[in-house]
């Protein structure tokens, strides 16, 4: 049975995502960082820009922060500033990939002092969570090797578990540790957390407060991410997403730019386990749209997520189950495609109108002149 427009509007009004602070500042390719006039230079300007996305979409719950990129002296002041802009501080992301001491690993480093330094950095992030009211610790570590023989896999896993247990024991009861896996880069021979299976095993070893976060750009070509969503969700270990888009590797392109059907299929799978309008999952955008004006790119990504979610709610689940039971493959696929090929933009525009917003968020933002204003103000 299909959801009615009123139900769809209710769902999309309660559908919220987190935007990444690092998505509003200059970023680049492996070869050059490109400067965009007016790009945010510190966490206060990043929050100001995130508030623009919230102003035109009413779909932003919080700003995910990255440490030390977003480090400040007064976390209470930052929390208050975000609140004054109608936003919360979201997931806190430690940075274990830019310190000289982590050349041969962070939480897996054979050197006790360097490993302890990495653990201390993550413990500092937990303290920042306590001061900002954040409940999510989002941990990606680049640890791995570049050549056969360079490292002992089992020894490194032993050190990793030991480090993660020290971190896990510092979490408050209402906090969640999200383990982010990635199959390569910066390491090019092996990565210590390369796939969902390893992240799942680590989260099981740690306990209920540890879950897995899926970054859409962190899989080998051809990987069926919807299947991973089903496996982790059915085991209570899916904690959230880093949404972006990619054609080749960890391209971090704007959400839905090259994989809208895959994104839709991921939401179809999620709807079997979660009511996404309840905010249980950490739905975080993780992109660095180096070539695009940052705020426009972020509004595009929020809209792609809203559209993929709305389309996924149109799948007639009962008819699909019936077709699956009859192994009527063509009918089953047509039921899925019918939902995907339905234009949900009229419903989204109506929901925006009812929320007192401009129907076309991107257009309204561009016409606001905010970009030229901040380009002047920020020099
Ligand atoms: C690693 C990653 C991780 C971040 C970084 C900004 O590729 O996806 O989530 O910390 O990008
Ligand atoms: Mn990520």
Ligand 2 (ion): residues with CB under 5 Å are 215, 242, 286
Task: State the pLDDT at residue 1.
Answer: 63
What ranges in the chain are assigned the alpha helix state H? Answer: 5-13, 43-57, 75-84, 112-132, 153-168, 196-206, 225-233, 260-270, 294-312, 317-325, 329-340, 345-354, 361-368, 370-377
Q: Is 74 exposed, middle or buried (0-12, 13-18, 19+ CB in 10 A)?
A: exposed
pLDDT, mean over the chain: 97
Report the run of H or E that residue 93 belongs to, with start and end. Answer: strand 88-94
Residue nearest to atom 6 of ligand 1 (CA): 286
Task: State the pLDDT at residue 72.
Answer: 98
Phi, psi (deg, nearest 5) at residue 110: -65, -20
Rounded to the nearest angstrom, the distance between the alpha carbon of 357 and the centre of ligand 2 is: 30
Q: Is the pTM of this model over 0.85?
A: yes
Atom of ligand 1 nearest to the CA of 20: 6
Ligand whose nearest atom lies closest to the CA of 23: 1
- List the structure tokens of 289: 């749209």
Residue nearest to atom 4 of ligand 1 (CA): 140
Distances (CA, A) of 41 to 22, 24, 31, 49, 374: 10, 9, 21, 11, 11
Say if residues 141 and 106 touch (Cβ distance below 8 Å).
yes
Nearest-angstrom CA–CA distance, 199 and 214: 10
Rounded to the nearest angstrom, the distance between the alpha carbon of 315 and the centre of ligand 1 is: 32
Atom of ligand 1 nearest to the CA of 97: 10
Which residues make Cβ contacts (< 8 Å) with residue 84, sequence separation at least 6?
A: none
Q: Among residues 206, 290, 306, 282, which one has the least CA distance to residue 254?
A: 290
Q: Which residues of the chain have pLDDT under 70?
A: 1-2
pLDDT tens-digit series, residues 318-353: 999 999 999 999 999 999 999 999 999 999 999 999
Task: State the pLDDT at residue 33.
Answer: 86
Task: State the pLDDT at residue 178.
Answer: 98
Ligand whose nearest atom lies closest to the CA of 241: 2
Task: State the pLDDT at residue 278.
Answer: 82
């Amino acid at each position: 049975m299909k959801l009615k427009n009123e139900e769809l509007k209710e769902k999309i009004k309660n559908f919220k995502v987190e935007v990444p602070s690092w998505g509003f500042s200059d970023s680049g390719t492996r070869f050059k960082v490109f400067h965009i006039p007016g790009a945010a230079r510190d966490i206060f300007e990043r929050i100001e820009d995130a508030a623009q996305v919230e102003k035109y979409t009413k779909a932003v719950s919080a700003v995910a922060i990255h440490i030390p990129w977003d480090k400040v002296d007064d976390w209470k002041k930052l929390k208050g500033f975000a609140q004054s802009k109608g936003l919360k501080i979201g997931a806190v992301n430690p940075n274990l990939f830019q310190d000289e001491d982590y050349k041969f690993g962070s939480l897996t480093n054979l050197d006790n002092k360097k490993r302890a330094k990495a653990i201390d950095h993550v413990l500092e992030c937990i303290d920042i969570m306590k001061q900002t009211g954040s409940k999510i610790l989002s941990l990606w570590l680049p640890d791995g090797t570049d050549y056969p023989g360079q490292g002992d896999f089992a020894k490194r896993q032993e050190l990793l578990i030991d480090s993660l247990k020290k971190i896990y024991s510092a979490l408050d009861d209402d906090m969640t540790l999200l383990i982010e896996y990635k199959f390569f880069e910066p390491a090019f021979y092996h990565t210590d957390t390369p796939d969902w299976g390893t992240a799942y095993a680590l989260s099981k070893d740690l306990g209920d407060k540890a879950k897995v976060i899926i970054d859409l750009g962190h899989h080998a070509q051809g990987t069926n991410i919807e299947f991973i969503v089903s496996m982790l969700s059915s085991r209570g270990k899916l904690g959230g997403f880093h949404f972006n888009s990619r054609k080749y590797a960890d391209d971090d392109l704007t959400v839905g730019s090259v994989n809208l059907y895959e994104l839709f299929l991921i939401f179809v799978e999620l709807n079997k386990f979660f009511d996404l309008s309840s905010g249980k999952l950490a739905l975080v955008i993780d992109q660095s749209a180096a070539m695009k004006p940052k705020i426009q790119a972020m509004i595009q990504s929020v809209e792609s997520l809203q559209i993929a979610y709305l389309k996924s709610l149109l799948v007639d689940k009962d008819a699909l189950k019936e077709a699956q039971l009859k192994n009527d493959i063509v009918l089953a696929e047509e039921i899925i495609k019918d939902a995907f090929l339905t234009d949900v933009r009229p419903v989204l525009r109506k929901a925006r109108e009812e929320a007192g917003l401009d129907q076309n968020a991107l257009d309204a933002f561009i016409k606001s002149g905010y970009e030229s204003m901040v380009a002047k103000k920020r020099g």
